[in-house]
Structure 1
């Protein structure tokens, strides 16, 4: 969804939170930064060449929440994601 039309129900709040993308593939972790966020989704800044699946768990340590996440769009070093629920931090994640 890259049409440029605003389709969000809520305006995103600008934030700067460290987070980890947990893919579940061999307990893989990818560091990222949450740039803005609503209760429904977020914009993430990631490393350009990071291999990120279309669905993953986004863990935000400062919030203590793991968000079940689906990618809506990708641009260079940014991802737009939608939250599909929450779950506890996996016990194998050290963060």
Structure 2
């Protein structure tokens, strides 16, 4: 993992429940946002989860869906870059 001192944007430590929404058969993977900033986040996911390279990360406490691209993967952690936002999909019940 990159050293925090080398990061362009320092990520704030958080602990938020979230869902990775793939849109493929309206599926989702529950995850935890571990740290985040305006440009991205680190997610903790189940070790056996199948997470695509691009997805919508819905964070209920923020009420926002973040368009995300995976930048790195390590065991049960995924680093993502945010490329925009969109409303929560109508099919998601959370």
Distance 1:53 1:86 in 2: 18
4+ residue segments displaced more than 4 Å: none
TM-score normalised per structure 2: 0.94
Q: Give the match for residue 57 of structure 1.
A: 56
Q: Does 1:42 align with 2:54?
A: no
Aligned-residue CA RMSD in angstroms? 1.2
TM-score normalised per structure 1: 0.93
Unpaired stretches in structure 2, ≥5 consecutive residues: none
Q: Secondary structure at the match of 1:26?
A: helix
Q: Give the match for residue 65 of structure 2.
A: 66
Q: Give the match for residue 26 of structure 1.
A: 25
Normalized per residue, the structure richer in helix is 2
Distance 2:89 2:25 in 1: 13
How far the C-alpha of 1:70 sits from its partner, in A, is 0.1
Question: How many residues get paired?
Answer: 93
Q: Residues 20-72 of structure 1: CA distance to partner in whole angstroms, max 9, x if unpaired?
A: 00001000010000000000000000000100000000000000000000000
Unpaired stretches in structure 1, ≥5 consecutive residues: none
Distance 2:7 2:18 in 1: 22
